[in-house]
Amino acid sequence: MIKAVILIGGPQKGTRFRPLSLDTPKPLFPVAGRPLIAHHIEACVQLKELKEILIIGFYPQTQMEGFVGDMQALYSSSNINIRRVKHKPQLTYLQEFTSLGTAGGMYHFRDQIRAGNPRAFFVLNGDVCADFPLQELYTFHTERPSSALVTIMSTEATRQQSLHYGCLVFDRASGAVSHYVEKPSSYVSTFINCGVYVCSMDIFTKLAQIFHAKGEEYSCLSYSCSGNGNGKEQGHIKWEQEVLTPLAGTDMLFAMPVPNWWSQLKTAGSAIYANRHYLALYRRTHPERLANVGHKRGEGDGNLICTVYPDVYVHPSATVHHSAVLGPNVAIGPGVTIGPGVRIRESIVLEQAQIKDHTLILHSIVGRGCTIGAWTRVEGTPSDPDPNKPFAKMENPPLFNNEGKLNPSITILGCFVQIPAEKILLNSIVLPHKELSRSFKNEIIL
């Protein structure tokens, strides 16, 4: 039996994802019509041996229980849409009382992870998107020497971009990692840590050593009254710096390089990029979800009779006028209404939004419950990886450049924004509940 842990952080995290994370926790933001971490869960349930998925974070229970309940119900049903599922794993959300870092939560909830005596467990960062090769990773890990405690899924980045990730040097034949540096200040290796791991159960001995060593070092700070997340409390353990770095060079840390698509989800711009890749992945894994074939609706009974350029996902409860044109790379959420002559490309439209007649939406995210008037143009600038650089990853540029000007980005409408008819909104970010009265270009509308 094996298990999986998904690390999702908490409300103070995901700041670069605002304003979208203001009303939905980032791990639940819908990408290709499914909450971000539902894609992790979907990858996990493909594994025959996987019996339990533990989601660890510091979001309040109330924000996660609906999602956990829905997913549990989905995988307990006999719905044909989930026929590829090998079995029905148990799903649990475990809330940290405060930010415990990327390994503190794992140590704190060690009894739940060890319960039932699993042979190993996966750890997945909740903010990565990928065609997760979990079976290959697990097989690779089991074929390493018995000393192996952790196997890291690794991918290649450009020299410059590698500095934003955990970098590792490893032996190509054995996979043994000899050097691991988290976000180095100068070049170490183009092989980076994808935030996806397989761990042997003996990792808890290491975590206990770190925990007790920290206890002695900071004995004046009690575990229970910790809370400022500065990394000095005994319970706060940084997986990368305090576990992976010392494990390198000891024959306990291994890496498996994978060619699969992989990306982080840090900014809203990266959601559009992830949306495109997850939609493309559906062609192989869940073609029935796509509205591509014969302009038919992907799920449910109704027919989608508008023009579609693949890949497009339309929730069964959305109403799309037959003269609208959708795609490529569009996801339309539940209850959305799309009027006649509307054109949407490279965008995500969230639930209950209303897009009135002949409006154009390009490279944008339209938040929940937004209303966009007729003949309006909402357009953003994509920030895709440089196609001319092999292994280039998504750039996650800061909001402002050195001159204090807004970097061109996708256009984002927070929830319940209202835009009147015949306006143009270009490269702008609109905070929730705003009613715009004119056109805007390169602005944050607070």
From 66-74, 230-238, 302-310, 356-364, span contacting ligand GTP (CB under 6 A) = 356-364
Question: Is 272 near ligand GTP (CB under 6 A)?
Answer: no
| Nearer residue to ligand GTP within complex by CB, 336 or 362 | 362
Chain residues in the site for ligand GDD (CB under 6 A): 7-9, 13, 56-58, 96, 99-102, 105, 125-128, 165-166, 182, 192-195, 240, 264
Q: How far apart are CA 92 and CA 55, in angstroms?
A: 6
Q: Among residues 301, 202, 193, which one has the least CA distance to residue 238?
A: 193
Site for ligand GTP in 376-395 (CB under 6 A): 377
Q: In this structure, are residues 438 and 393 in contact, taking their beta carbons and an 8 Å threshold?
A: no
Q: To the nearest whole angstrom, how small is the minimum distance from the Cβ of residue 331 to ligand GDD?
A: 22
Closest distance of CB 28 from ligand GDD, Å: 12
Q: Quick one: what does residue 373 bind among ligand GTP, ligand GDD, none, with the CB cut-off 5 to 8 Å set by partner type?
A: none
Q: Which does 7 bind (CB under 5 to 8 A by kind): ligand GTP, ligand GDD, none?
A: ligand GDD
Q: Which is nearer to ligand GDD, 166 or 339 (CB)?
A: 166
Token pair in block for residue 343: 């054109």
Q: Which one of 253, 274, 331, 362 is in contact with ligand GTP (CB under 6 A)?
A: 362
Name the minimum Å distance from CB 75 to ligand GDD: 22
Say which entry of ligand GDD, ligand GTP, none residue 358 contacts (CB below 5 to 8 A, set by partner kind).
ligand GTP
Instruction: Please say which residue, 277 or 363, places its beta carbon nearer to ligand GTP.
Output: 363
User: Residue 34 or residue 356: which is nearer to ligand GDD going by CB?
Assistant: 34
| Residue (135 or 323) nearer to ligand GTP, CB | 323
The option from ligand GDD, ligand GTP, none interacting with 341 (CB < 5 to 8 A, set by class) reads: ligand GTP
Q: Rounded to a whole number, what is the distance in angstroms from the first to the last CA of the chain?
A: 50
* Contact of 270 with 263, CB cutoff 8 Å: yes
Select the binding partner of residue 377 from ligand GTP, ligand GDD, none (C-beta < 5 to 8 A, by kind): ligand GTP
Closer residue to ligand GTP (CB): 253 or 362:
362
Nearer to ligand GDD, 137 or 413 (CB): 137
Q: How far is the CB of 402 from ligand GTP (least distance, A)?
A: 29
34, 286, 358, 363: which one binds ligand GTP (CB under 6 A) = 358
Q: Which is nearer to ligand GDD, 240 or 242 (CB)?
A: 240
Q: What is the 3-state secondary structure (H, E, C) of the chain?
A: CEEEEEEEECCCCCHHHCCHHHCCCHHHCEECCEEHHHHHHHHHCCCCCEEEEEEEECCCHHHHHHHHHHHHHHHHCCCHHHCCCCCCCEEEEEECCCCCHHHHHHHHCHHHHHCCCCCEEEEEECCEEECCCHHHHHHHHHCCCCCCCEEEEEEECCHHHHCCCEEEEECCCCCEEEEEEECCCCCCCCEEEEEEEEEECCHHHHHHHHHHHHHHHCCCCCCCCCCCCCCCCCCCCCHHHHHHHHHCCCCCEEEEECCCCEEECCCHHHHHHHHHHHHHHHHHHCHHHCCCHHHCCCCCCCCCCCEECCCEEECCCCEECCCCEECCCEEECCCCEECCCCEEECEEECCCCEECCCCEEECEEECCCCEECCCCEEECCCCCCCCCCCCCCCCCCCCECCCCCECCCCEEECCCCEECCCCEEECCEECCCCECCCCEECCEEC
Q: How far is the CB of 319 from ligand GTP (least distance, A)?
A: 17
Please, what is the minimum distance in Å from the beta carbon of residue 365 to ligand GTP?
A: 17
Tokens (6 digits) for 435 = 């009613």
User: How far, in Å, CA of 66 to CA of 345, rounded?
Assistant: 31
Min. distance of Cβ 234 from ligand GDD in angstroms? 14
| Residue 343 near ligand GTP by CB under 6 A | yes
Identify which of residues 155 and 292 has a Cβ nearer to ligand GDD in the complex: 155
Among residues 360, 413, 415, 417, the one that binds ligand GTP under rule CB under 6 A? 360
Q: Which of residues 394-433 bind ligand GTP (CB under 6 A)?
A: none
Q: What is d(CA 409, CA 418) in angstroms, rounded to the nearest whole number?
A: 20
Should residue 297 be labelled a site residue for ligand GTP when binding is judged by CB under 6 A?
Answer: no
100 binds, among ligand GDD, ligand GTP, none (CB under 5 to 8 A by kind): ligand GDD
Contact assessment for residue 156 and residue 172, using Cβ atoms and an 8 Å cutoff: no
Instruction: Output 57 or 339, the one with its CB closest to ligand GDD.
Output: 57
Nearer Cβ to ligand GDD (264/428)? 264
How many whole angstroms separate alpha carbon 88 and alpha carbon 173?
36
Residues that bind ligand GTP (CB under 6 A): 341, 343, 345, 358, 360, 362, 377
